[in-house]
Amino acid sequence: MTATLPIAPASALDALDALESEAIHIFREVAGEFDRPVILFSGGKDSTLLVHLAVKAFAPAPVPFPLLHVDTGHNYPEVIDFRDRLVERLGLRLEVAHVQDWIDDGRLVERPDGTRNPLQTVPLLDTINEHRFDAVFGGGRRDEERARAKERIMSLRDSFGRWDPRKQRPELWNLYNGRHAPGEHVRVFPISNWTELDVWRYIQREGIELPSIYYAHQREVFRRDGMWLAEGPWGGPRGDEALVKKSVRYRTVGDGSCTGAVESTATTLDEVIAEVTASRLTERGATRADDRLSEAAMEDRKREGYF
């Protein structure tokens, strides 16, 4: 007689176990259904979490997808250093689309305000087309802002890379629709149902390394439009914007021209989690200037093909 192992009831899974299980299921679904997936990777906490989940999904085999970083040239050095160390440690393949290459050959024009965040869409779509990627993993979460809350787990982009939120496909439970025509692709969001706090608690539980800028450190910053920005190749300080040294950390990683720091003394994971728990602002609402341009700023960019 063959012995059977007891099956743990669903209630035995805590919230993080359930979120992890869902994300790993999505990775495996995509691996079985698509020919050329890729993971968008910025070096931030969400995309680092994606890589960690992908490693778990396919272990002991290697992650079967490459990473893609759209490098604005305005990145924090600590993040680029972290990106390169992680890729080397895990033996991953990394594709980098340098926004500067598109500016140099005339496909893009530098913006008067110096910010390059909006310029990432064209290099992203060109690289997706060049490599014929048909499934593009992203670290977007529904709790970040309104447009991301509208995304399905698998969200279709047309042959121009555009998203139409009015034509979202229904998703029932864990039944995803990856159907797409040649030239179209699907954006996939395995951590869509996570919150910022879930991400931090999971990072703590799994011992995941992050770039050092996520923890409080001394940095020279200047005040612009209510945010603390660091000096860099993106410009600033200007005019009466004075550099001051403060204890800050970053809640999100992005183009330095529009990603602000928050004043903080949180140098450990426990302190960061306590800080996030007490915060009344989402990470993007607190630190991303490009999301403040209009009520629909992110949705407008996503319609054009942005992350």
The β-bridge partners of 216 are none
Q: Compute the distance between CA of residue 57 and CA of residue 94 in angstroms, rounded to an integer.
A: 19
Instruction: Please tell me the predicted confidence (pLDDT) of residue 291.
Output: 58
- What tens digit of pLDDT does each residue of 154-205 get? 999 999 999 988 888 888 888 899 999 999 999 999 999 999 999 999 999 9
Instruction: Please tell me the predicted confidence (pLDDT) of residue 6.
Output: 46
- What tens digit of pLDDT does each residue of 47-96 get? 999 999 999 999 999 999 999 999 999 999 999 999 999 999 999 999 99
Instruction: Please tell me the predicted confidence (pLDDT) of residue 4.
Output: 47
Name the least confident of 30-39, 49-58, 64-73, 141-150.
141-150
**Homologous superfamily assigned to 15-197+296-304:** HUPs (3.40.50.620)
DSSP codes, the chain: ----PPPPPGGGS-HHHHHHHHHHHHHHHHHHH-SSEEEE--SSHHHHHHHHHHHHHHTTSPPSS-EEEEE-S---HHHHHHHHHHHHHHT--EEEEEHHHHHHTTSS---TT---GGGGHHHHHHHHHHHT--EEE----TTT-HHHHH--SEEEE-TTS---GGGPPP-BTTB------TT-EEEE-TTTT--HHHHHHHHHHHT----GGGS-EEEEEEEETTEEEE-STT----TT---EEEEEE-SS---TTTB-BEE----SHHHHHHHHHH-SS-HHHHHBGGGGS-TTHHHHHHHHT--
Amino acid symbol at 66 = P
Q: Compute the distance between CA of residue 98 and CA of residue 72 in angstroms, rounded to an integer.
A: 6
Instruction: Please tell me the predicted confidence (pLDDT) of residue 3.
Output: 45
What's the mean pLDDT when you consider all of the chain? 89
Query: In this prediction, what percent of the chain has a pLDDT beyond 70?
Result: 92
Place of tokens 């039944």: 175
Amino acid symbol at 244 = V
Mean pLDDT confidence for 281-291? 66
Res. 5: pLDDT tops 50? no
Q: Compute the distance between CA of residue 246 and CA of residue 220 in angstroms, rounded to an integer.
A: 6
Domain boundaries, the chain: 15-197+296-304, 211-293
